[in-house]
Structure 1
Amino acid sequence: MSVRIEVLSGLGDKAPAAILVEAEGRRLLLDAGGALHPGQSMAWSDGLDVDAVLISHDHIDHIGGVSALPAELPLYCTAEVAMSLPRGREWRALPARGQCRIRGIPVTTGQAGHSLGGIWMHLGVDGGVFYSGDACLESLLFPFDDPPPARVALLDASYGLYDTPQVQCRETIAQRLTEPRVLPVPVSGRALEMALWLDEQTEWLGVTWNLDDACRESLEALLTLPRSLRRGGHDAAIRRLLDASRADSPMLWLVEDRDDDPEDWPEHRLLHTGYLTPRRQRQRTAGEVDWQRWNVHLRLAHMRTMVNRLRAARATPLFTAEVRDVSESLKRPRSLALSEEGSDAVG
């Protein structure tokens, strides 16, 4: 039984995620990503012919292209992710952690450690095809479930060769919290664990902070999930965080990322902690904003860990311009074959 994998978008750049897997006479689309910034290509959706689409999580570069798909195309995602679908879009449930069959193909899902409702996917065909979506092994709140073995691994390599541990990132960010700051964040991912961490840091530093309504609502949604879908030991701290009274004009703001510009916050300085669009890269170069990564993707050591856990014979790094270098870094002594092409026929 052959499997054909085509990376329609997301190979060789940080770009919308769209991966086509063809097996057993069926064509499944893994993610339907939207543009991360104006002018980024969405050509992957042109002339698309698939039987179903499976969405890993609700960030724009993985779900933002759903509006370009036919309304009648069957779409599968978790209940949390469905909240971000276009209004009225019909969907079918993917388990947050479990097994199902989609168009006759066995699908296993597990928690990806990246966002609220976010999952990885494993297709039970030809030795297994694993797709991480966006994934992280270092989250304070989101668990990562070990996947079953897979001959083919399609891995989140958004950070390329970067390999700085999360603890060092937090230490560096903490040093920048002594002046008025605004931290724009994706509310279903980084916002949640950063809120918990900020609450501890600001108490120790003796500075005021607040979070906007979108971040607050996302934290409340986290507490409604089954306990098995969040790391233990934090519920009481989250409830205290939500119940505490806060200053209307704090020194630090944690806010939903709405493409904020420096002029939107004249009394504060923007500190970005994730992907920078070309416009934000220019702002950083001009000294108008600051940046320090807070890990929410697989770093290099963890990509190696994933390849070993999966016992993968073929691995493709996604969402990075450093495909060749990452591929070389992931090689194991036992002849790990690495795909660097957009179309991969696995026989």
Structure 2
Amino acid sequence: MSATIQILSGLGDKGPAAIVVEAQGKRLLLDAGGALHPGEPVTWAQGLAVDAVLISHDHVDHIGGVVELPAQIPLYCTPLVAKTLPPQRAWQPLPYRGRLDVEGIAVTTGQAGHSLGGVWLHLDDAGGIFYSGDACFESRLFPFDAPPPAHTALLDASYGRYDQPQAQCIHAIGKALDHPLVLPVPETGRALEMALWLSEEADQRHLPLAIDPIIRDNLAALLALPNDLRRKGLDAAIQALLQRPNARHPALWLVSDRDDDPPDWPHHRLLHTGYLTPQRRQQLAAGEVLWQRWNVHLRASHLVALAHQLQAVQVAPLFTPLHADAESAWRDLLGTRLITQPSLDVEAQTKVLSSPLLTP
């Protein structure tokens, strides 16, 4: 069997996720990403015709473009991800870990290690097509499930060739905790594991701590899932955190990211731990905010390890720049498996359907 893959958005730079796989006469859209920056248009959806949509997780660059699609297109996602769909949007359940048939194509899902309710997707066609969505091996809270083999791997490369272990990131953040801080975070992603870590640090350092109610609610939602959908040995810590009252005058404040700016928090400094918008990059350069990554995506060595584990013949690093120097570095890491084309015909011998997205 053969399949056609069209990476509509997400190859060659950090951008919304949108990939069409055509197999057995059906077209499945993997993720429907919205704009990363306010006011940017979502162009990948224009004139698009698909038979079904599968959503990996609920972050805006993977689900925010659902509003651009006709409401009658069947949409599949996990029940927790469905909570962030547009009101009244019909959906059908993806298992958190399991297998189902979508338009005659067997789809396997597993935990992606990135966010509450998030999954990777494996399509059992053309030797296997694996899409990681956003994924991470290092979460202390979210497990990563080993996927089946796949001929083609579409992998989260948001961090490019960065390869610093999580322990070093946490150590660096820890050194900043002696000053009043606000940490804005995606409320279903790193927020949950950072809440556990911050509560431990606050106790050890005798620092008052506050955590946004929505983050607490999401921790409670995680605790309500079957226990094999979170790392072992953390239930007691989660329960203790849920019972812990917020400090009236917190030195540390973990908040849902609402595009916070320094004037919003005159008595604290903002410490960002993930993707920086252009405005936040300017604030960082001016010394107005702090930044230290908390790993929630695949590091370079982990991406290569996953490609090996999948026994992938071809690998597309997604959500990362692929200019000439970067492409050369990825070729050193992945060899002849590297994909830099947005359209591929996947069969026994892969043939490129269009000219390369980027000039070597």
Instruction: State the TM-score bracket (shorter-chain normalisation).
Output: over 0.9
Provide Cα deviations, 1:207-260, integer angstroms capped at 9, x if missing partner. Answer: 111101111111111111110111110110111111123311100100000010
| Residue in 1 that maps onto 2:63 | 63
Q: Does the residue aligned with 1:29 lie in a helix, a strand or coil?
A: strand
Equivalent residue in structure 2 for 1:328, among 304, 326, 331: 331
**Structure 2 matches for 1:24-39, cutoff 5 A?**
24-39=24-39
| 1:326 Cα deviation from its structure 2 partner | 5.2
Give distance in 2, aligned partners of 1:199 and 1:82.
29
| Residue in 1 that maps onto 2:340 | 340
Q: Does the residue aligned with 1:76 lie in a helix, a strand or coil?
A: strand
**Structure 2 matches for 1:99-178, cutoff 5 A?**
99-178=99-178
Give distance in 1, aligned partners of 2:330 and 2:65.
28
Paired residue total:
344
Contact 2:36 2:60 in 1 (8 A): yes
| Residue in 1 that maps onto 2:191 | 191
Q: Does the residue aligned with 1:187 lie in a helix, a strand or coil?
A: coil
Contact 2:164 2:299 in 1 (8 A): yes
**Structure 2 matches for 1:76-95, cutoff 5 A?**
76-95=76-95
Contact 1:317 1:326 in 2 (8 A): no
Q: 1:29 to 1:170 in 2, by over 3 A?
A: same
The CA RMSD over aligned residues, in Å, is 1.1
| Residue in 1 that maps onto 2:352 | none
| 1:38 Cα deviation from its structure 2 partner | 2.3
Contact 1:115 1:188 in 2 (8 A): yes
Give distance in 1, aligned partners of 2:330 and 2:240.
45
Q: Which segment is superposed worse, 97-106 or 336-345? A: 336-345
Give distance in 1, aligned partners of 2:318 and 2:62.
12
Stretches of structure 2 lacking an aligned partner (at least 5 in a row)? 348-360
Matched AA of 1:330 = L
Give distance in 2, aligned partners of 1:326 and 1:100.
37
Give distance in 2, aligned partners of 1:265 and 1:24.
54
Stretches of structure 1 lacking an aligned partner (at least 5 in a row)? none
Matched AA of 1:346 = V
Q: Does the residue aligned with 1:127 lie in a helix, a strand or coil?
A: coil
| Residue in 2 that maps onto 1:271 | 271
Query: Does the alignment pair 1:214 with 2:214?
Result: yes
Contact 2:315 2:334 in 1 (8 A): no
| TM value normalised by structure 2 | 0.94
| Residue in 1 that maps onto 2:316 | 316
Q: Does the residue aligned with 2:44 lie in a helix, a strand or coil?
A: helix
Provide Cα deviations, 1:100-156, integer angstroms capped at 9, x if missing partner. Answer: 110000100000000010000000001100000000000000000000000000000
| 1:325 Cα deviation from its structure 2 partner | 4.2
Matched AA of 1:327 = W
| 1:337 Cα deviation from its structure 2 partner | 2.3
Contact 1:303 1:330 in 2 (8 A): no
Structure 1 ranges of 4+ moved more than 4 A:
none
Give distance in 2, aligned partners of 1:76 and 1:134.
17
Give distance in 1, aligned partners of 2:310 and 2:40.
32
Give distance in 2, aligned partners of 1:109 and 1:245.
36
Matched AA of 1:286 = A
Provide Cα deviations, 1:11-49, integer angstroms capped at 9, x if missing partner. Answer: 111101000101111100000000010243411000000
Percent of residue pairs identical: 60
Query: Does the alignment pair 1:10 with 2:10?
Result: yes
Give distance in 2, aligned partners of 1:48 and 1:176.
47
Q: Does the residue aligned with 1:65 lie in a helix, a strand or coil?
A: helix
| 1:327 Cα deviation from its structure 2 partner | 2.6
| TM value normalised by structure 1 | 0.97
Give distance in 1, aligned partners of 2:10 and 2:305.
22
| Residue in 1 that maps onto 2:358 | none
| 1:344 Cα deviation from its structure 2 partner | 1.6
Q: Which segment is superposed worse, 213-222 or 135-144? A: 213-222
Q: Which segment is superposed worse, 149-158 or 242-251? A: 242-251
Q: Does the residue aligned with 2:168 lie in a helix, a strand or coil?
A: helix
